[in-house]
């Protein structure tokens, strides 16, 4: 897994050089927004999105750590592939939540952006059930995924625009974002449980 860290190091170098080059050739109007602080009209602006992104990217990092541990101890390729796939998916989810990519994808495909989220959820569920066979794992592990699934289901339903939530006095954004944050939290507990279980076996 050292290759991963070298890849990350190389990408960070390329990013830094790209920023510097664009600044030198006076593309400041395009470059400056890339490294400015997130500012808003009030304190703790976009706190909920920041929390959700933290949980999702934290999950991605934990899956990378799990893949590294697996490669050092047993080198089970199937497990490593699963952990890396989850790291990629969780990184994308955090990136999507920060930059609302699902809305842009929905606009390109001319569909409600909620269905983009639902499609990704189905893909993740298929990976968990048919590749990782989560249903055969301990209850302590898949209960986190069940709670996360409930949270994401509420979020997806709230995001479907043709459901008239406002007519019932329901705040659509609140109903969408709070369950999403809880779902991201429970998702993070999944790789945490995997890592702690591995540590327990090593200690014993």
Per-residue pLDDT for 24 more than 70?
Answer: yes
Instruction: Provide the percentage of residues in the chain whose pLDDT is more than 90.
Output: 44
Question: Is 28 part of any domain?
Answer: no
Instruction: Check residues 99 and 24 and name the one with the higher pLDDT.
Output: 99
User: What distances in angstroms separate CA 177 from CA 81, 118, 182, 197, one per listed residue?
Assistant: 31, 15, 9, 31
DSSP letters for the chain? -HHHHHHHHHHHHHHHHHHHHHHHTT-HHHHHHHHS----SSTTTTHHHHHHHHHHHHHHHHHHHHHHHHHHHT--HHHHHHHHHHHHHHHHHHHHHHHTHHHHHHHHHTS-HHHHHHHHHHHHHHIIIIIS-GGGS-HHHHHHHHHHHHHHHHHHHHH-TTS-GGGGT--HHHHHHHHHHHHHHHHHHHHHHHHHHHHHHHH-
Is pTM, for the whole model, over 0.85? yes
Considering the domain boundaries, does residue 107 fall inside one? yes
pLDDT, residue 148, reads 95
Residues whose CB is less than 8 angstroms from the CB of residue 196 and which lie 6 or more positions away in sequence, other chains included: none
Number of structural domains the chain divides into: 1
What confidence tens digit (pLDDT) does each residue in 62-78 have? 999 999 999 888 778 89
Which distant-in-sequence residues (6+ apart) come within 8 Å of 113 by Cβ? Answer: 102, 103, 105, 106, 107, 159
Q: Is 6 within the bounds of a domain?
A: no
Mean pLDDT for the stretch of residues 170-178: 87
Retrieve residue 49's tokens: 């999105």
Task: Establish if 101 belongs to a structural domain.
Answer: yes
Asked if residue 42 belongs to a domain, the reply is no
What pLDDT score was predicted for residue 64?
94
**41 occurs within a structural domain:** no
- For the chain, the average pLDDT equals 88
Task: Look at residue 187 and tell me whether its pLDDT is greater than 70.
Answer: yes
Asked if the model's pLDDT at residue 95 lies above 90, the reply is yes
Could you report the per-residue pLDDT of 120-158, keeping only the tens digit for each? 889 999 999 999 998 888 877 888 999 999 999 999 888
Q: Which residues span the domain enclosing 144?
A: 48-203
Q: Report if residue 29 sits inside a domain.
A: no
165 contacts 123 by C-beta, under 8 angstroms: no
pLDDT tens digits for range 33-53: 777 777 788 888 889 999 999
What is d(CA 2, CA 174) in angstroms, rounded to the nearest whole number? 42
């Amino acid at each position: 897994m050292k290759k991963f860290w070298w890849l990350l190091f190389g990408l960070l170098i390329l990013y830094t050089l790209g920023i510097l080059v664009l600044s030198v050739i006076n593309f400041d109007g395009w470059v400056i927004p890339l490294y400015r602080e997130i500012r808003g009209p009030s304190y703790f602006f976009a706190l909920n999105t920041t929390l959700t992104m933290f949980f999702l990217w934290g999950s991605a990092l934990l899956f990378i750590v799990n893949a590294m541990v697996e490669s050092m101890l047993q080198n089970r390729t199937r497990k490593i592939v699963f952990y890396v796939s989850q790291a990629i998916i969780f990184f994308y989810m955090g990136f999507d939540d920060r930059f609302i990519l699902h809305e842009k994808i929905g606009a390109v495909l001319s569909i409600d952006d909620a269905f983009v989220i639902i499609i990704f959820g189905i893909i993740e569920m298929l990976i968990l059930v048919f590749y990782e066979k989560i249903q055969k794992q301990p209850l302590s592990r898949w209960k986190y995924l069940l709670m996360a699934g409930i949270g994401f289901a509420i979020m997806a339903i709230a995001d479907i625009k043709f459901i008239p939530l406002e007519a019932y006095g329901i705040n659509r954004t609140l109903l969408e974002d709070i369950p999403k944050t809880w779902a991201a939290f429970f998702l993070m507990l999944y790789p945490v449980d995997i890592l702690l279980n591995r540590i327990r076996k090593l200690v014993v």
